[in-house]
Amino acid sequence: MRMRNVEIGVGVFMLAGILALVVLALNVSGLNLSQQSDGYKVYARFDNIGGLTPRAKVSMSGVQIGEVTAIRIDTRMLMAEVEMEIFDDVDYLTTDSSASILTAGLLGEQYIGIVPGAEEETLADGDYIQDTQSALVLEELIGKFLFNEVGD
């Protein structure tokens, strides 16, 4: 009987450990089990999005205000078009706001940083952010540095 209690205790301990690993993996990856669908869509076009992926964070002053929902090619302008869902309570982004693709941390996770402008009119569902800055691609920077050094 004593051996059976030990086996049950070890089994419960293993299940608790596996559950803790699953919760940790969900928190680290930024996945949500509940879909937050209350918000409005805003679009931006970039020359180069680097490693930006859907579900990347959209932040302002370091605070998450939305997430990237889709990335596609605008066939008319031949640029990457990023669709962002901004949380409903963020109703103060002005039409002259700017969007930049930034890199966070050592692993290079990319996200979109929004800097609000000074206009009175705010962005509505379906509007485009006109002022954008593309991602910095390390290979391009190294190439520019090498070609500038060779030229001198």
Single out the residue of 76, 79, 73 nearest to residue 46, CA to CA. 79
Query: For the ranges 11-15, 16-20, 23-27, 111-115, which has the lowest average pLDDT?
Result: 23-27
Q: What pTM value is reported for the model?
A: 0.71
3-state secondary structure at position 58: strand
Distance CA(152)–CA(150), nearest Å, equals 6
Evaluate if residue 148 carries a pLDDT over 60.
yes
CA Rg value for the chain: 22
